[in-house]
Amino acid sequence: MKITDTSDLWWRSAVVYCLDVETFMDWTGDGKGDFVGLAHRIDYLAQLGVTCLWLMPFYPTPGRDDGYDITDFYGVDPSLGTHGDLVEVLRLADDRGIRVIVDLVVNHTSDQHPWFTAARSSRESPFRDYYVWRDAPPPGHEENVFPDKETGVWQRDEKTGQYYQHSFYRQQPDLNITNPAVRDEIAKILGFWLQLGVSGFRVDAVPFLLDTAGVDAARQLLPDPHEYLRSLRSFMGRRSGQSILLGEVNLPYEDQLEFFGGPDGGELTMQFDFLTMQHLYLSLARQDARPLVQTLLARPELPDGAQWAIFVRNHDELTLDKLSDDERQEVFAAFGPEPGMQLYGRGLRRRLPPMLDGDPRRIRMVYSLLFALPGTPTLFYGEEIGMGENLAVEGRSAVRTPMQWTAGANAGFSTAAERKLPAPVTPGGYGPAFVNVESQDHDPDSLLVFVRKLVQTYRTTFEIGFGAFGVLDSGTPGVLAHEMRWDEGCVVALHNFSPESAEVRLPLEGSAVLDLLTGIREPLPEKGPAVLSLEGYGFRWLRLLA
Ligand code: GLC
């Protein structure tokens, strides 16, 4: 093993777990999750095999956008605990070998942030230029990210008679990164959290952050926003060489490459692979691996050390905005036919298991793929036990219900009265009576035990995180066959999107294959292709043995 190649690239073989402190575990009994509750659950995450915890925004907030509207970038919302409680979580995580990254939401602030309060008080305020102001909305209609609530991205401010830009809700005024003072503030925020011990940031809405088109040309002081991202990355690297920027960039691959810093890198360390995620759903809907295969083949080559983060679901709607209208309708028809399951005309506010009608074969195949595809697997809390959504909860919050720990009251999440919870626990067949950690923990057939197995196998299969990736011709439209080669090793993975069993013929070298998930060896023929069988929705991870 070439240790020198990998020892400082921890993120390439990490297991990322995303959670919102507010919905994970309430220890103080007030109905809201808190840092003390999370501290008590660090060993659960360690046992699952998580190596990187991504904390969704925990900063003081009026809660207009579930914490993505921040009033103090240095603070901890009092309902979640104190800095002391947070540091305790960092220490416990560190002790278990778990790194922590935090959400960096600096495209905008809350409209109640002191900067904005000052900025809107007068055109002469020293904070005025922290935000983007115009006398009139510039020509060209830009659609707001939240089209159900907002008709545009410019809001008139009565007192000072100008319009401010907001790519998201009007309560989230966009910061002006062309202003050097704002860039200094952002650097200080990074510096603060790095000093406290975090290993990097999940950078929110990066294309919006770098989009300076709204700024009056006369005030444009930043010719190349990518140059700024590059300097932010090197600043972070100087402060903490092992830290990462994991960016949210939902754009075509060629644009994503730019956010990595082009072929030479130097900007984001990792980016979520939205295209692979969206085409995975198209493949699932069609029971045909080809849309996914084509997307994987279209991935650009990444700069050294950079990596994709792969995900099946996250805290937002399952966006399908990069599919064609027809393709999106196909996925809607398969996985969210009712209007109440859809959001913003582009996505689904559902979790995976209900979309797959709870079929354990398909659910496991998808999670197997999450861990077997090249890229860093990223889990959203509750996925490991197969939680479902609560469609009675508004908007995106349908997938942000309390973590289900036990079959007891409030799913063991809180001892408070039900009405005090941040969102009602998911009812029905995906409710705590059927889906909870406690009952799955010791059940060898549970999803939780299965996911633990995937995590362990992924963590001991370096080819996945570090290897050269290639798609193999499976000869069967339903089956994705791919290989990863690293050092002397080669692992071949097979995933069957179709309910029909399949036989895949592949010209494999070696004397046998070792099935990494079952431990069973299968000899390879001396001549001719190997014939590998797969059940309907089956999957296999095979190491070639010399
Ligand atoms: C990102 C977050 C989303 C939030 C938005 C505005 O897209 O994932 O939850 O609403 O940014 O901060």
* Predicted local distance difference test score (pLDDT) of residue 70: 98
Residue 69 in contact with ligand 1 by CB distance below 6 A? no
Cα of 313 vs centre of ligand 1, distance in Å, is 14
Of 204, 267, 273, 463, the catalytic one is: 204
Instruction: Tell whether pTM > 0.95.
Output: yes
Q: Which of helix, strand or coil describes residue 467?
A: coil
Element (H, E) at 310: strand 307-311
Of 26, 129, 157, 248, the catalytic one is: 248
Q: Which residue has the tokens 């079952």?
A: 518
Q: 13 - beta bridge partners?
A: none
* Contact of 203 with 240, CB cutoff 8 Å: no
Q: 62: alpha, beta or left, given left = phi > 0 and alpha = psi -120 to 50?
A: alpha
Contacts with 326 (C-beta within 8 Å, 6 or more apart), sequence order = none
Strands 489-496 and 479-486: antiparallel
* Predicted local distance difference test score (pLDDT) of residue 4: 54
Q: Which residue has the tokens 């072929």?
A: 263
In the annotation, is 185 catalytic?
Answer: no
In the annotation, is 204 catalytic?
Answer: yes
Cα of 338 vs centre of ligand 1, distance in Å, is 24
Buried/exposed 17-27: b ≥16 CB within 10 Å, e otherwise: bbbbbbbbbbb
Element (H, E) at 522: strand 521-523
* Contact of 401 with 425, CB cutoff 8 Å: yes
- Return the beta strands (E) in 226-290 as ranges: 244-247, 270-272
* Contact of 254 with 300, CB cutoff 8 Å: yes
Element (H, E) at 486: strand 479-486
Domains and CATH numbers, the chain: 114-165 (3.90.400.10), 465-545 (2.60.40.1180)
* Predicted local distance difference test score (pLDDT) of residue 488: 87
Residue 380 in contact with ligand 1 by CB distance below 6 A? no
> From atom 2 of ligand 1, which residue's Cα is the shortest distance away?
204
Q: 377 - beta bridge partners?
A: 310
* Predicted local distance difference test score (pLDDT) of residue 140: 82
Q: Which residue has the tokens 């067949």?
A: 429
Distance CA(543)–CA(536), nearest Å, equals 21
Distance CA(469)–CA(449), nearest Å, equals 28
CA-closest candidate to residue 479, choices 497, 505, 500, 492: 497
Distance CA(214)–CA(484), nearest Å, equals 44
* Contact of 391 with 398, CB cutoff 8 Å: yes
| Ligand 1 mutation pick, 107, 274, 316, max ligand atoms within 8 A of CB | 316
Q: Cα–chain-centroid distance for residue 483? A: 24
Tens-binned pLDDT, residue by residue, of the chain (546 aa): 555 556 689 999 999 999 999 999 999 999 999 999 999 999 999 999 999 999 999 999 999 999 999 999 999 999 999 999 999 999 999 999 999 999 999 999 999 999 999 999 999 999 999 999 999 999 887 899 999 999 999 999 999 999 999 999 999 999 999 999 999 999 999 999 999 999 999 999 999 999 999 999 888 889 899 999 999 999 999 999 999 999 999 999 999 999 999 999 999 999 999 999 999 999 999 999 999 999 999 999 999 999 999 999 999 999 999 999 999 999 999 999 999 999 999 999 999 999 999 999 999 999 999 999 999 999 999 999 999 999 999 999 999 999 999 999 999 999 999 999 999 999 999 999 999 999 999 999 999 999 999 999 999 999 999 999 999 999 999 999 999 999 889 999 999 999 999 999 999 999 999 999 999 999 999 999 999 999 999 999 999 999
* Predicted local distance difference test score (pLDDT) of residue 3: 53
* Contact of 323 with 345, CB cutoff 8 Å: no
CA-closest candidate to residue 293, choices 149, 454, 481: 481
Cα of 143 vs centre of ligand 1, distance in Å, is 15
- Taking CA atoms, 529 is separated from 24, 481, 535, 541, in Å, by 49, 14, 19, 17
| CA-105 nearest atom, ligand 1 | 12
205 burial (CB, 10 Å; 0-12 / 13-18 / 19+) is: buried
Distance CA(159)–CA(226), nearest Å, equals 34
Distance CA(413)–CA(505), nearest Å, equals 48
